[in-house]
Amino acid sequence: MTLFGGFPFTLAEAAAGASRRSLLEYIQAGGLIGYLLVLLSIVAVALLIAHLLKVRMSVMAPTEVVLGLEERLQRADTAGAIEFCRRDENKSFLANTFAAALTRCSRSSFGLLELRTALEDSGTKEVEKLIRTTDGIAIIAAIGPMMGLLGTTIGMIGAFATIGQLEGAARSNELSNYMSLALVTTAQGLLVAIPCTVLYTILRRRVERLAAAVGEIVEDLAATLSTPGSERRSPRIASENPEPVEVA
């Protein structure tokens, strides 16, 4: 009766002892692998901030760039539009897309007849650039579990070496340290990888949604070159929260 009655108490004591461990102690329990995983998590946060600062409607299609392009395209001033888009202060997803497309049309025998095709091609390249801003997070999501597995392997190697080399209390202490290393690094790797995997998916969808919203502005601007003035419609001004657009 004493044996079974004391078992829950023992579990409660173990849980209480584990809960008293600080975050720093958990990191230290992972050894060098634990510190590297913490560093990776910091890098992931930095990459997230950089992505959010770069991939925004106000950066991808600034209002002043939209209005400046509209003014020049309404006059059919393609040379002026190219020069406007290439200015350093106007560099953006929208400006880069039009600069590449209009330059291609100016060198083509088909002229503006292939404007829409050129815009699609240059827009696709710009989208690929934005998607690459999420690659770092994807890499961290991939190597996090691998580093955790490396820590597990190191811990198991150390545990088996301890069994063969030490005896008594010393063996028990070393064995528990290596087993702790093996389990803690596995948990640390997953704690880094799981959020990064979710974050990568969300950011990819965000890029697609914002690119689709800018694509609508591009279409409106392109229409100003082929539509009579009385029938032209003003392009949509960029919004930080565009309506969701389904992307195939």
Question: Which one is predicted more confidently, 199 or 19?
Answer: 199
Mean pLDDT, residues 6-22 taken together: 49
CA distance 118 to 205: 24
For residue 55, report the phi and psi dihedrals to the nearest 5 degrees: -100, 85
Distance between CA atoms of residues 213 and 245, nearest Å:
7
pTM of the model: 0.73
Distance (Å, whole) CA 66 – CA 98: 11
Largest CA distance in the chain: 94
pLDDT more than 90, % of the chain: 48
Of 219, 227, 229, the C-alpha closest to 101 is 219
Q: Which residues contact 240 (CB under 8 A, 6 or more apart)?
A: 56, 57, 58
What number of helices (H) and strands (E) belong to the chain?
Answer: 10, 0
3-state SS, residue 233? coil
What average pLDDT score do residues 110-124 get? 86
Query: Residue 241 pLDDT > 70, yes or no?
Result: no
| Of residues 181, 176, 174, the one with CA closest to residue 153 | 181
Q: For residue 138, what are its two tokens?
A: 């994807």
Q: Is pLDDT above 50 for 2?
A: no
Pick the closest to residue 193 from 133, 140, 136, 135 (CA basis).
140
pLDDT reading at 17 higher than 60: no
Cα separation, 68 vs 91, whole angstroms:
13
pLDDT higher than 50, residue 222: yes
Q: How far is the C-alpha of 82 from the C-alpha of 216, rounded, in Å? A: 20
Rounded distance, CA 73 to CA 67, Å? 10
Report which DSSP code applies to 236. P
pLDDT confidence tier of residue 97, bands split at 50, 70 and 90 = very high
